Amino acid sequence: MKSPHARPEDLEWKCGRCNQELVVGQVSVEYLGNRFTTELAKCPSCGFVFVSEELALGKMAEVEQILEDK
Amino acid sequence: MILGCCGAPAWWAGEEASFQKEVDAFRNKWVSLGQPKVILACSTCYKMFKENLAEIPILSLWKTLEQIGLPQTEGHPAVPPLAVHDPCTTRREPEMQQSIRKLIGLLNRPVEELRLSREKTECCGFGGLMQDANPALAREVVARRAKESELDYVTYCAVCRDNLAAAGKRTLHLLDLIFPDSADKDPASRKRPGWSQRQENRARLKAELLNDLWGEEGAKMEDHREILLHMAPEVQALLEQRRILVEDLQKVIHHAETTGAKLVHPKTGHFKASFKPYKVTFWVEYSPSDDGYIVHNAYTHRMEVPGGTPS
């Protein structure tokens, strides 16, 4: 997965627990033994990572499918 | 009485280990019950038992009813004939197909044979998990089957009944005729229950059987199941298509509200939270209501984000 995958509207969300604005940061994602690094919106304090609907159903689903079909 | 799975979905999915586990579990249960004869209502179970649990003596519910006789029901007025849809797993079960026709005859309902029936019967779109693997093809297959006759259909597989009904075809399950429900005046028009409703129905059936037949109390409902959710019809339809259950939503919201791990949108006031109960991560966008929560959207992904949802 290429980075970055954080969109400006993703950064409109705030972390409810830390009351912090989300920032774009490095995140590792894994699937079926494969690991990727990308940039996503996350809480700078607790590390809560936001996966948007567009990313989950778009690029992520595409990569999941490719790895499952391997 | 056993409510359980014969393992067919795992077999069709090529999950041989899961399938074997299911089959072994049933065999052990059967041995612990004293190796009784097993009466099966589902033709797929019948086929799976025959092929994988050959040591277990089985009988179809339909043959059993033919032998012991039907319960007394009110006489049926003159009614149009019904077209029989044989489930695909009965293709090599002519005796079962014959029992069905005899039982329908005993209920004074004339039968019309579809062009392709018995050993040439067609699929309802579920067989081999077509509905999961290729939903568009499954819809095409069932729509074609539904058009074969203008008459109401009668079938003896719950999945065939629901899939034909979902394709807009008036369809009865044979049990609707044998054990009519006075509260359901037109069972042929009953809609296919959604995934969540199915789960709910199974839980209710188990609770009722435990209570009414054995005087036992079922397991206490888990905390998250108490959460009341509201959804607009279009959200409900979308989640149905995405195969997201009400219980999945309840788990996410329960986790978010007990841990505080959620996002907040300052403009809309909506919350967004995620939770991974097993292998799939569920995301839910929701907001509080007077008595519970309003669900605005939900989606899933299988890719994992280690540490992405602090507990």
Question: Could you identify the residue written with the tokens 């009341």?
Answer: B228
Residue whose C-alpha is closest to residue B53's, from B120, B2, B116, B104: B2
Interchain CB distance below 8 Å, B308 and A47 = yes
Q: Which amino acid is at B77?
A: P
Q: Is residue A3 part of a domain?
A: no
Mean pLDDT of all residues belonging to chain B: 93
Residues 25-64 on A with a CB inside 8 Å of B are 27-31, 40, 42, 46-51, 53, 56-57, 60-61, 63-64
* pLDDT at residue A32 in the model: 93
Residues in A closer than 8 angstroms to B303, CB to CB, are: 29-31, 60, 63-64
Interchain CB distance below 8 Å, A51 and B301 = yes
Residue B122 has pLDDT above 70, yes or no: yes
Q: Is residue A1 part of a domain?
A: no
Given CB atoms, is B133 within the 8 Å cutoff of chain A?
Answer: no
pLDDT (tens digit per residue) in B164-186 = 999 999 999 999 999 998 888 89
Residue A4 has pLDDT above 70, yes or no: no
* pLDDT at residue A3 in the model: 47
Domain containing residue A60: CATH number: 3.10.20
Q: What is the domain extent for residue A16?
A: 8-69
Q: How many domains does chain A have?
A: 1
pLDDT (tens digit per residue) in B236-278 = 999 988 989 999 999 999 999 999 999 999 999 999 999 998 8
Q: At what angle do helices B94-106 and B61-68 cross, to 10 degrees?
A: 50
Residues in B closer than 8 angstroms to A61, CB to CB, are: 301
From residue A17, how far is each of A14, B11, B241, B257, B295 by CA, in Å?
A: 9, 44, 32, 10, 20
Q: Report residue B222's pLDDT band, with 50, 70 and 90 as the boundaries.
A: confident
Residues in B closer than 8 angstroms to A45, CB to CB, are: none
> What CATH topology corresponds to B223-301?
YaeB-like fold (3.30.2310)
What average pLDDT does the segment B48-75 reach?
91
Kindly state the tokens that stand for B181: 């429900």
Residues 6-25 on A with a CB inside 8 Å of B are 12-17, 22
Residues in B closer than 8 angstroms to A46, CB to CB, are: 261, 310
Q: Select the more confidently predicted residue: B84 or B212.
A: B84
Q: Report residue B145's pLDDT band, with 50, 70 and 90 as the boundaries.
A: very high
pLDDT (tens digit per residue) in B157-168 = 999 999 999 999
pLDDT (tens digit per residue) in B203-213 = 889 988 998 89
Left (φ > 0), alpha (ψ -120 to 50) or beta: where does B188 sit?
alpha
**Distance, in angstroms, between B240 CA and closest chain A CA?**
16
ipTM over 0.90: yes
